[in-house]
Amino acid sequence: MPRAVALAAAFFIADVISSLTSAPGSGIAGIWVPGGVALAGLLIGGISLWPAVLAGGLAAAPAYGVLGASTVPVVLANTAAVVVAAWAIRRMGTDIRLGRLGDVARFALGSLAGALPLGAVGVGALLALGPVESDPTGSVVALWLLSTATGFVVVGGAIVVLWSRRADAIPARRRAEGLVGLAAIAALALAVFVQDQAALTLLLLLVTALVAARTGPRGAALAVVIVFGFAAAAVLVDGGPFGGDDLVGRSLTYQTAVMVIAVGMQALGALGSGEPGAVPGTPGTALTVGLLAAGGLALGLSEGIVAPEVILLAPKAQVTLIGLLMCLVVVVGAVAGTGLRSHASDLRRAGRRWWAWAALAGVALFGAEELFLLSLATISPTRAIVVSSLAPVILLVVAMVRREIRVTAGVVGGILLVLAGFYAISPGDYGFPGSGAAGLWIALGSSACAAVLLLSLLQCRRSAGTASTLVVVFAVGAIAAVVLCAALGVLPGPDVWRMEEVMGGILYVGVVGTLVPVLLATWAIPVFGAAWVSLFEVLAPPIAVIAALAWGDSAIGAWQALGIVLLLIGVAIAARAHSGGHGDVVVRAP
């Protein structure tokens, strides 16, 4: 009983505070933290405490000023979202100390499993039953879903980590190091979000990554809370690097940024935990397939929605440079978490040939990103996405020519179906400008660079681990981007960090649209080989096309639907017929 009362009171207080971030009459908080409080309460005290969440939500409902027929359904949906998330996290066997990368991933996935479907039910009830004064646009719905998920992942994750590790002994030296690092994060966050020194954003992310990796899950959780709090203050007073005409616009950028930062920093904290199994070795087949599919989904959303919006605000070279630098920040943190000495030894043994392949991979990564963004400025996004995603076809053809894959009717038929699917998706402009031949060749160059990148990563993984490979690849890519920006005279200045999409869009393009797919490909290549792994990238074009058309309020036509079906069938046939040829790869722990 005391636990239930404490949870209900905590939820009520958090919900009332969150109501202060809602627009008048909207019923939607710009920053919604009570979900994280409730999730942590159920994970710590047991799912049987769910009535306390319901009671706290009903008590706090008047604070939003929209009492009506939707009140009870909305509170019920919010409570169900917390219960489902807690059940999913527990069902997957998650250790809420978050000392392993797998636990971080399971916590995030379980949170999304509760937040997204049940959140959709809640916002649907609010919009259907009202009263809601604000226009029920896609931005409002997205804010509801994102704020729910952010509350679960950021607030809930921080609370459970700090609670479950409160009795852990921390060496005095590590404690002092953590305190200095957290003080530096607070000072930088104050400058970036309150004093509007947005040019320090990249330095803030770098220091946060290093502190998270060096101090483990607890330090990562505290670092995330500090960034979360200062960033929230900026949203409420229309400050910091978050743009937007109103609270909804600023909150969407904020939610995207803090979600990516929280998961990434907690993952770096897991790397620095020192727990057995914190860093996974060779992935299993089922897990690898699932992660590659998730990477294809993330890449598709990045290409279909975020990238076209971002390139309207800054030169393409700047977007690529900032994205690669953000990726490099995460990779540097990962190396710091797993130990510098092991990576230095790893790279010394790699040899000159490995360095040549790594340098080629870095240049190819830069070329793929820059050419794709350039193609978006010259042809329609649908065509740019489709043509720049031909890397799997290129790799399969190369593999057959080199006799690494047997030429069978299944492989050839799968390739032809994939090409037919691409063609069915791409015709027509669908309201977007441009369809020139030059743009198509630029997009094709992007796909060729992606193919070279995967082949180079395959060679690199024969001699070095994942983290060691990625830090060199992204460093070379960032250097190439700096050289191009300097040659063009478009090095990013302080103003670029104040753009609306920098903290949200470019962070998403850099980390989720670039780092995650490349990381997953590097991790999975020793298991499946470059050609087979590249097949999963075919999932990105249909996701991107659906997202782009839906975001632009355009209907998906019969040709696009047929193309998506042909793509998926072609990938399934080619993957099933693909006989391998990559068994000689030396698998090493990342």
At 539-569, the pLDDT tens digits run: 777 777 777 666 665 666 777 777 778 777 7
Mean pLDDT of 489-515: 76
Q: What is the pLDDT of residue 453?
A: 92
The answer to the question of residue 561 being in a domain is yes
Q: Which of 240, 271, 302 is the last residue of a domain?
A: 271
Does 73 or 7 have the greater pLDDT score? 7
Both 264 and 295 in a single domain?
A: no
Q: Which of 249, 271, 293 is the last residue of a domain?
A: 271
Q: Which domain holds residue 343?
A: 285-577
Both 489 and 522 in a single domain?
A: yes
Both 249 and 302 in a single domain?
A: no
Both 232 and 339 in a single domain?
A: no
Q: What sign has the CA pseudo-torsion 402, 404, 409, 410? A: negative
Q: What is the 3-state secondary structure (H, E, C) of 498-553?
A: HCCCHHHHHHHHHHHHHHHHHHHHHHHHHHHCHHHHHHHHHHHHHHHHHHHHHHCC
Q: What is the pLDDT of residue 585?
A: 34
Both 267 and 385 in a single domain?
A: no
Domain count, the chain: 2
Taking a C-beta distance cutoff of 8 angstroms, is the pair 62, 74 a contact? no
| Segment 232-281, tens digit of pLDDT | 887 777 766 766 666 677 777 788 788 888 988 998 888 888 777 776 65
Mean pLDDT of 469-480: 92
Tell whether the model's pLDDT for residue 92 goes beyond 60.
Answer: yes
Taking a C-beta distance cutoff of 8 angstroms, is the pair 379, 439 a contact? yes
The answer to the question of residue 179 being in a domain is yes
Tell whether the model's pLDDT for residue 313 goes beyond 50.
Answer: yes
| Segment 403-461, tens digit of pLDDT | 766 777 777 777 788 778 777 776 554 434 444 677 888 888 998 998 899 889 888 88
Provide the CA 588 distance to its chain's centre, in angstroms: 25
Both 315 and 455 in a single domain?
A: yes
Q: What is the pLDDT of residue 555?
A: 61
Mean pLDDT of 288-300: 75
| Across 132-141, 311-320, 384-393, 469-478, least confident range | 132-141
Both 213 and 158 in a single domain?
A: yes
| Across 57-66, 182-191, 499-508, least confident range | 499-508
Per the rule left: phi > 0, alpha: psi between -120 and 50, beta: everything else, 368 is alpha
Q: What is the pLDDT of residue 510?
A: 83
What is the reported pTM? 0.80
The answer to the question of residue 118 being in a domain is yes
Q: Which of 237, 271, 305 is the last residue of a domain?
A: 271
Taking a C-beta distance cutoff of 8 angstroms, is the pair 506, 319 a contact? yes
Residue carrying structure tokens 């890397």? 391
Among 165, 446, 140, CA closest to 303: 446
Residue 22 structure tokens: 């809602």
The answer to the question of residue 583 being in a domain is no
Give the mean pLDDT of the chain: 79
The C-alpha angle with vertex 342 and arms to 337 and 348, in degrees rounded to 5, equals: 135
- The most distant pair of C-alpha atoms in the chain lies apart, rounded to whole Å, by 70
3-state secondary structure of 407: coil
Tell whether the model's pLDDT for residue 121 goes beyond 80.
Answer: yes
| Segment 3-39, tens digit of pLDDT | 889 998 998 898 888 877 776 656 677 677 899 999 9
